[in-house]
């Protein structure tokens, strides 16, 4: 009897061929309108926390579908709620901001937008991370769930989030009452297009999916003077160079080699002329990890090394380097095991096992992590949908080093495949989570 019950339970989570075909046909019917929206979004990108046109446009669309819509959550975010009887609460998030990048894709609808950064600097703007596919999928999923209300029971909370690229938007929405003003979710779900998978392939990681990311600035002090008289100075360039070299031992000699970690010095600025020893040097680092323990080891080690090298160079206390960790930092995104494994099996059954994979974690960052960190009792998963056109993937023989990455001015995902696949995956996931009975 127990075995029969298990078989019956497994069968309930499977998508029948007829149901799968019907959903695919419905999404195929939506695609002309969705692609018109995608091209419009791609052509009119907006920088982080400056999203105005995008949320207004999408809020109007989901309001027509019968969602209860609230705008300006966390400054520019949108929350659309549909209550459809008793059952779990599912939050589906899409991010909507673009990047300060000059587009070079050659697309007929390429962005020509120029906007201003927070400091007033003018910059070209591009959806170089594929958030326009995320927004379009968000609407496509909302359409399917509104049309299929008879097949599910529970509550859907559709979140259109600003400011992901600056890791500000999720916190802004939480601080503005996302989990108190609106139904509190039991499940958290998001997707991201991928420049590391062929178009239409779905990747569902389990455990850590994305990394902690900290930006660290080290201001190295010294005593400046003439380059011909170095003995009368305390050279900050030499000291900063020692710090750079010593930092390499954090990963190679202090961190457990089984725990991934990255410490990169991406910027070193000092001096103005060959015969002048300056009085300061500035280093900028990106520091990446997964676990809180590794993160602490790296950040504490940076402070210790900077001070230790300064002491070894004979600097007095008033000339010790200062170490600043920029805020906000990004926290690692964690996919809860029961949920991610459930989705991977569900997608494999629906799309076929050849279209579903379990990718390794990557060292990029996402602020989707903040929703789960705000309440770890929830089930949470972010999954990838491949966007690399098959011809380009085949030409590169799957070598991602030969392909444009996310944030590249050349990144042009096979948008129709990404959007249709992600919309179908999101809808299948929602119907499974919110299934009646």
pLDDT per position as a tens digit, 370-417: 999 999 999 999 999 999 999 999 999 999 999 999 999 999 999 999
Query: pLDDT tens across 256-272, in order?
Result: 999 999 999 999 999 99
The three state secondary structure string of the chain is: CHHHHHHHHHHHCCCCHHHHHHHHHHHHHHHHHHHHHHHHHHHCCCECCCCCHHHHHHHHHHHHCCCEEEEEECCCEEEEEEEECCCCEEEEEEECCEECCCCCCCCCCCCCCEEECCCCCEEECECCCCHHHHHHHHHHHHHHHHHCHHHCCEEEEEEEECCCCCCCHHHHHHHCCCCCCCCCCCEEEEEEEEEEEECCCEECCCEEEECEEEEEEEEEECECEECCCHHHCECHHHHHHHHHHHHHHHHHHHCCCCCCEEEEEEEEEECCCCCEECCEEEEEEEEEECCHHHHHHHHHHHHHHHHHHHHHCCCCHHHCCEEEECCCCECCEEECHHHHHHHHHHHHHHHCHHHEECCCCCCCCCCCHHHHHCCCCCEEEEEEEEEECHHHHHHCCCCHHHCCCCCCCCCCCCHHHHHHHHHHHHHHHHHHHCCCC
**Full-model pTM:** 0.92
Is residue 6 scored above 90 in pLDDT? Answer: no
What is the tens place of the pLDDT at every residue in 313-329?
Answer: 999 999 999 999 999 99
Given a cut of 90, is residue 242 above it in pLDDT? yes
Structural domains for the chain:
11-211+331-433 (3.40.630.10), 212-325 (3.30.70.360)
What pLDDT is stored for residue 437 in this prediction?
77
pLDDT digit string (tens) for 9-40?
A: 343 444 566 567 799 999 999 999 999 999 99
- pLDDT at res. 73: 98
């Amino acid at each position: 009897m127990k075995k029969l019950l298990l078989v019956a339970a497994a069968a309930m989570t499977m998508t029948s061929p007829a149901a799968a075909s019907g959903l695919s046909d419905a999404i195929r019917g939506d695609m002309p309108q969705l692609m018109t929206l995608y091209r419009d979004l791609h052509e009119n990108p907006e920088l982080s926390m400056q999203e105005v046109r995008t949320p207004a446009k999408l809020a109007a669309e989901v309001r027509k579908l019968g969602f209860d819509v609230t705008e300006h959550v966390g400054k520019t975010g949108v929350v659309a709620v549909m209550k459809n009887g008793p059952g779990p609460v599912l939050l589906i998030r899409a991010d909507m901001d673009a990047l300060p990048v000059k587009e070079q894709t050659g697309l007929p609808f390429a962005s020509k937008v120029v906007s201003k950064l927070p400091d007033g600097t003018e910059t070209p703007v591009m959806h170089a991370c594929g958030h326009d596919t995320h927004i379009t999928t968000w609407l496509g999923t909302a359409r399917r769930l509104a049309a299929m209300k008879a097949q599910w029971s529970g509550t859907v909370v559709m979140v259109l989030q600003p400011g992901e690229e600056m890791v500000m938007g999720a916190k802004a929405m939480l601080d503005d009452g996302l989990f108190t003003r609106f139904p509190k979710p039991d499940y958290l779900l998001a997707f991201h297009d991928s420049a590391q998978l062929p178009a239409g392939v779905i990747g569902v990681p389990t455990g850590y999916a994305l990394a902690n990311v900290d930006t660290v600035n080290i201001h190295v002090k010294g005593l400046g003077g003439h380059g011909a008289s170095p003995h009368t100075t305390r050279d900050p360039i030499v000291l900063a160079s020692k710090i750079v070299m010593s930092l390499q031992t954090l990963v190679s000699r202090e961190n457990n080699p089984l725990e991934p970690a990255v410490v990169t010095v991406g910027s070193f600025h000092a001096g103005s002329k060959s015969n002048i020893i300056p009085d300061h040097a500035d280093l900028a680092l990106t520091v990446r990890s997964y676990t809180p323990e590794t993160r602490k080891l790296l950040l504490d080690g940076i402070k210790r090394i900077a001070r230790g090298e300064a002491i070894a160079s004979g600097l007095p206390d008033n000339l010790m380097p200062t170490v600043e960790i920029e805020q906000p930092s990004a926290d690692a995104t964690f996919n809860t095991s029961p949920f991610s494994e459930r989705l991977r099996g569900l997608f494999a059954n629906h799309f076929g096992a050849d279209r579903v994979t379990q990718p390794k974690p990557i060292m990029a960052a996402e602020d989707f992590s903040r929703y789960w960190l705000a309440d770890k009792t929830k089930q949470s998963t972010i999954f990838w949908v491949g966007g690399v056109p098959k011809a380009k993937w085949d030409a590169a023989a799957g070598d991602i080093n030969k392909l444009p990455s996310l944030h590249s001015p050349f990144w042009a995902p096979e948008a129709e495949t990404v959007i249709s696949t992600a919309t179908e995956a999101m809808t299948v996931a929602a119907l499974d989570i919110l299934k009646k009975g």
